[in-house]
Amino acid sequence: LKVRVVRSSPPSSQFKATFQESYQVYKRYQMVIHKDPPDKPTINQFTRFLCDSPLEAENAPNGPDCGYGSFHQQYWLDGKIIAVGVIDILPYCVSSVYLYYDPDYSFLSLGVYSALR
């Protein structure tokens, strides 16, 4: 299991490169876990809900390497994204906004793992 933190707002090149794969995991999660119909979890809804952010990106000299702002914490297994934690990294805390995962991997309890991490 590898964890990669990619800036979602403004979108980094890594975020853009993995956007479709991340969206497909979200769409499947919403349909299986929350019983959304296939046409409800649209790209626009996903972007508004979990990608757009009012936070401004900041790279403070004494801050974390990734900087402050909004990120997607991607969980990779065997070369594919199996979960994404949507987080805001702030000077004195990390705020967990949402976590979604591939339902095939629910046995891994990735929400618990993410919270503990």
Q: From CA 67, how far away is CA 110, in angstroms rounded?
A: 24
The domain limits of the chain are 2-116
Q: From CA 70, how far away is CA 102, in angstroms rounded?
A: 22
Per-residue pLDDT reduced to its tens digit, 45-79: 999 999 999 999 999 999 999 999 999 999 999 99
For the chain, helix (H) and strand (E) counts, in that order, are: 3, 4
Phi, psi (degrees; rounded to nearest 5) at 63? -90, -175
- The overall average pLDDT reported for the chain is 96
Q: From CA 104, how far away is CA 108, in angstroms rounded?
A: 9
What pLDDT does 117 receive? 85
pTM score, two decimals?
0.94
